[in-house]
Amino acid sequence: MTIEATAFARAGLIGNPSDGYFGKTISIIVRNFSATASIEPAERLEIVPSPADLPRYASVDELIASVRRIGYYGGERLMKATIRLFADYCAANGIALKRDCFSLSYRSNIPRCVGLGGSSALVTAAIRALREFYGVFIAREAQPSIVLSAERDELGIGAGLQDRVIQTYEGMVYMDFSREVMETEGRGRYEPMPPSLLPPLFIAYDANLGEGSEVVHNNLRERFARSDPEVVAAMQRFAELTDAARDALTNGRPHELGPLMSENFDLRLRLCRLSERNVRMIEIAREAGAHAKFAGSGGAAVGTYERESMFDALAAAYRAEGFEVIKPIVTG
């Protein structure tokens, strides 16, 4: 019998990148894209690479273009790390795994390395499949930490809990990662919010634009670790913007979300060196009268718009400059 599990893309609505720095965020699931892991019994433990990870190219130029776009690593290392962390979790909790071998395959249509949570979706899907295959219960609030550990501790991918939380809980979630909460509870506090509170949203992205989050976050981590005043103050402000957004949404003022998102981006721009094309994603939205910020580490933007005519103008402007545009599907 084959077991199949799915996890979806996600977008950081407000507060990121403070989730890795004792901040607060609100994130949404994006059901337009997904990652799937499949497990079936086998005589040997086997990881079957996704077609996108097979080392086959039409030419040297195609290989070079692939390396420039997504780097040297694919999903196989994520699957190896996930299996190890799942086994470690079971051992630490006295859970005996009665079957040793299986075949694990995976696939994803989430645009890679553009900040839509592609790596964490693969790990989340694999954890779900392993959990069902072995009949292991993992509390929902504990699962994001296992997913993060597979990426951060095993593979050195610099990131916070935000992606893993929203891909576990789905919908829309307010997340509090303040130092007191993290040190007391070992994880954040997660509050699901009704997606019906949201204003109209769009996502724009360029599949050739992004970088891995480990590239984007490394300088920030170094500066935060040495208590750089600018970075510390920025993380506090990201958290304040998140609380302001939560208050606006829960009290029937969704129109206030857009300006808060714009401030979120402007603050990030002051902190980090961003490529011209990444900045251009935000400029296009502003030129149309909309608001936007990065959905993650760069390569994709999430924003608000007021009416369908504005969305039509946005979509035309983005596509004219080589970006893809979608309306995110947040509910199932």
CATH code for the domain in which residue 200 is found: 3.30.70.890
Residues 77, 19 share a domain: yes
Catalytic residue among 19, 53, 61, 163: 163
Average pLDDT of span 69-85: 83
Task: Tell me whether residue 312 is one of the annotated catalytic residues.
Answer: no
The backbone torsions φ and ψ at residue 329, rounded to the nearest 5 degrees and listed phi first, read -95, 115
Mark out the alpha helices in the chain (DSSP H runs): 60-70, 75-92, 118-134, 143-155, 162-169, 179-185, 213-225, 229-250, 257-271, 276-287, 308-320
- What integer pLDDT is reported at residue 93 of this predicted model? 93
- How far is residue 268's CA from residue 234's CA, in Å, rounded to a whole number? 8
Which of the residue ranges 48-62, 214-228, 270-284 would you say has the lowest mean pLDDT?
Answer: 214-228
Q: What is the pLDDT of residue 58?
A: 81
301: left (phi over 0), alpha (psi -120 to 50) or beta: beta
Q: What CATH number is associated with residue 165?
A: 3.30.230.10
Residue 332 lies inside a defined structural domain of this protein: no
pLDDT tens figures, 247-256: 999 999 999 9
- Residue 321's Cβ-side half-sphere holds a number of Cα atoms within 13 Å equal to 20
Are residue 43 and residue 180 in the same domain, yes or no?
A: yes
Report the pLDDT value the prediction gives residue 221, as an integer from 0 to 100.
81
Same domain, 139 and 241: no
Same-domain check for residues 126 and 212:
no
- Per-residue pLDDT band at 72 (split at 50, 70, 90): low
User: Are residues 298 and 241 part of one domain?
Assistant: yes
Say if residue 187 is in the same domain as residue 243: no
Tell me what pLDDT residue 233 has.
94
Domain end (from 126, 161, 193): 193
Mean of pLDDT values over 164-192: 93
Distance CA 103, CA 212 (A): 28
CB atoms within 10 A of CB 314: 23
Residues 6 or more apart from 82 whose CB is under 8 A from it?
123, 126, 127, 130, 147, 150
Q: Check whether residue 318 and residue 240 sit in a common domain.
A: yes
Structure-block tokens of residue 135 = 């009949």
Interacting residues of 204 by C-beta distance below 8 A, sequence separation 6+: 281, 284, 285, 292, 300, 301, 303, 314, 318, 323, 324, 325
> Each residue of 109-157: pLDDT tens digit?
999 889 999 999 999 999 999 999 999 999 998 899 888 888 777 777 7
Encoding tokens for residue 300? 């994709």
Per-residue pLDDT for 63 more than 90? no
Residues 25 and 158 in one domain: yes
CB-CB contact of 127 with 137 (8 Å): no
Question: What is the span of the domain harbouring residue 52?
Answer: 3-193
Judge if 174 and 220 occupy the same domain.
no
Phi, psi of 2 (to 5 degrees): -95, 130
Q: How large a percentage of the chain has pLDDT more than 70?
A: 95
12 has a pLDDT exceeding 90 = yes
Span 152-175, mean pLDDT? 87
173 with 193: CB under 8 angstroms?
A: yes
Per-residue pLDDT for 66 more than 60? yes
Among candidates 300, 1, 280, which has minimal Cα distance to 133?
1
Q: What is the pLDDT of residue 53?
A: 80
Boundary (domain end) residue, out of 193, 215, 248: 193
Asked whether the beta carbons of 245 and 271 are under 8 A apart, the reply is no
d(CA 29, CA 147): 16
pLDDT band at 94 (very low <50, low <70, confident <90, very high): very high
How much is the pLDDT for 61? 80
Q: What token pair was written down for 234?
A: 């920025």
Residues 26 and 169 in one domain: yes
pLDDT confidence bin for 240, thresholds 50/70/90: very high
Per-residue pLDDT at 289: 96
Q: Which phi and psi angles does 276 have, rounded to 5°?
A: -60, -40
pLDDT bracket for residue 214 (50, 70, 90): very low
| 203 found inside a domain | yes
In this model, does residue 69 exceed pLDDT 80?
Answer: no
183 found inside a domain: yes
Count of structural domains, the chain: 2
Contact 306, 289 (CB under 8 A): yes
Residues 154 and 279 in one domain: no
Query: Which sign, positive or negative, has the C-alpha torsion 314, 317, 318, 319?
Result: positive
Q: Let me know whether 114 and 137 are in one domain.
A: yes
In this structure, what token pair is assigned to residue 294? Answer: 């990065």
- Judge whether 216 lies within some domain: yes
Domain for residue 331, yes or no? no
Q: How far is CA 324 from CA 128, 171, 208, 216, 318, in A?
A: 30, 23, 11, 22, 7
Whether the predicted pLDDT of 218 surpasses 60: no
Average pLDDT, the chain: 91
More confident residue, 292 or 51: 292
Mean pLDDT of 270-283: 93
Please tell me the predicted confidence (pLDDT) of residue 1. Answer: 83
* Cα–Cα distance list, 227 to 221, 232, 235 (Å): 10, 6, 11
Q: Is 104 contained in some domain?
A: yes
| Intra-chain end-to-end CA distance of the chain, in Å | 26
pLDDT at 211: 56
> For residue 72, is it within any domain?
yes
* Domain finish residue from 160, 193, 226: 193
Element (H, E) at 98: none
Asked if residue 291 is part of any domain, the answer here is yes
